[in-house]
Amino acid sequence: MKAYFGRRYMVSASHRLHTDALTAEQNRAVYGKCNNPHGHGHNYVVEVLVGGAVNPETGMLIDMAALDAVVNDKIVARFDCQNLNLDPAFARDVPTTENLSRLVFGLLKDKLPAGELECVRVEETENNFFEVFDA
Amino acid sequence: MIFLTRRATFSASHYYWNEAWSAEKNEQVFGRCANRNGHGHNYTLEVTVAGEPDPVTGFVVDLKWLKEVMEREVLARYDHRHLNLEVEEFAAGKMIPTTENIAIAAWRRLEPAVRAAGGAQLSRIRVYETPEIFAEYRGEA
């Protein structure tokens, strides 16, 4: 029987929304206070939703400790308490939460200990979040 | 199609144990959750139904009705209960009350009632065991 297991992780990181494709003035116009040269930070919530068959012997579809190990290794260790703009993945892409959620999906997609990655949701604040269903 | 969700909370105790296994294997697979004295959670149940708004009332379903169905079918049976000992579908080792299985069991309890009412259909059950851990079931085989 197919079900879904969801787990939420917190990543605190800083970023600055800025692209070299635009002038300084255009960057300020597009990104507003998110373009502050010194950056700013968020407590991001990364929600990982995994789909798969529930094992009748355990009643579980994934070993949560194994999922935690993968997400902590691939996501939390890489981004927590870091400046996203300095991550190689954002050498060209702007570290918007749209781009971050797509990046997280790609980093986890083939690394799960069981099941299929159904959705990655990244909450930037309590009032805005982004969901990705494919990389 | 509109998706409408109602949330409710219940508090219950449980433990994870497969009667077909040795105590050693249960402890190895389920860890601290295998403690036979049980432990508990404040669960959140989210019930999502899907349908078109009624042309007269504008409702997909009457939320008060949905609340009553959730209370009757799920909360009255699960709230302040020991799931392994007092809830039929989990008793005597029939089904381990994991979050996944609670979502499936809640679906089985709610789906006939929603279907019988006509109109909207049950779309999704989500059960939060803690704010960081949840499972959902969408009626898939």
Q: Is B129 designated active site?
A: yes
Q: Does B16 touch chain A (CB under 8 A)?
A: yes
Instruction: Give the CATH number, domain containing residue A11.
Output: 3.30.479.10
Size of interface A-B (CB pairs under 8 A): 61
Instruction: Provide the pLDDT for residue B33.
Output: 96
pTM: 0.93
Which positions of chain B have pLDDT values less than 70? Answer: none
Q: Which percentage of chain B shows pLDDT scores above 70?
A: 100
Residue B126 lies in a domain: yes
Is residue B75 a part of any domain in this protein? yes
Question: How many CA atoms lie less than 13 Å away from A17 in the CB half-sphere?
Answer: 17
At A54, the pLDDT band (50, 70, 90 cuts) reads: very high
Domain that holds residue A11: 2-132
- Residue B22 domain flag: no
pLDDT band, residue A135 (cuts 50/70/90): confident
Tally the domains of chain B: 1
Q: Count how many domains chain A has.
A: 1
User: Chain A contact for B84, CB < 8 A?
Assistant: no
Contacts of B101 in chain A (CB under 8 A): 54, 59
CATH number for B74: 3.30.479.10
Residues in chain B: 141
Hey, is the C-beta of B116 within 8 angstroms of any chain A C-beta? no
Is the Cβ–Cβ distance between B61 and B110 less than 8 Å? no
- Per-residue three-class SS string for A19-50: CCCCCHHHHHHHHHHHHCCCCEEEEEEEEEEE
- Domain hosting residue B50, numbered range: 2-13+40-137
Query: Which pLDDT value is given to residue B57?
Result: 86
List chain B residues with CB under 8 Å of A6.
126, 133-136
Is B80 considered catalytic here? yes
Read out DSSP for B107-125?
HHHHHHHHHHH-S-EEEEE
B31 occurs within a structural domain: no
- Options B71, B86, B89, B129, the catalytic residue: B129
Q: Do B141 and A2 touch (CB under 8 A)?
A: yes
Give the pairing of strands A40-53 and A116-125: antiparallel
**How far apart are the C-alpha atoms of B77 and A38, rounded to whole Å?**
55
Chain A residues contacting B, CB < 8 Å?
Answer: 1-9, 49, 54, 57-61, 64-65
Residue of chain A whose alpha carbon sits nearest to that of B16: A58
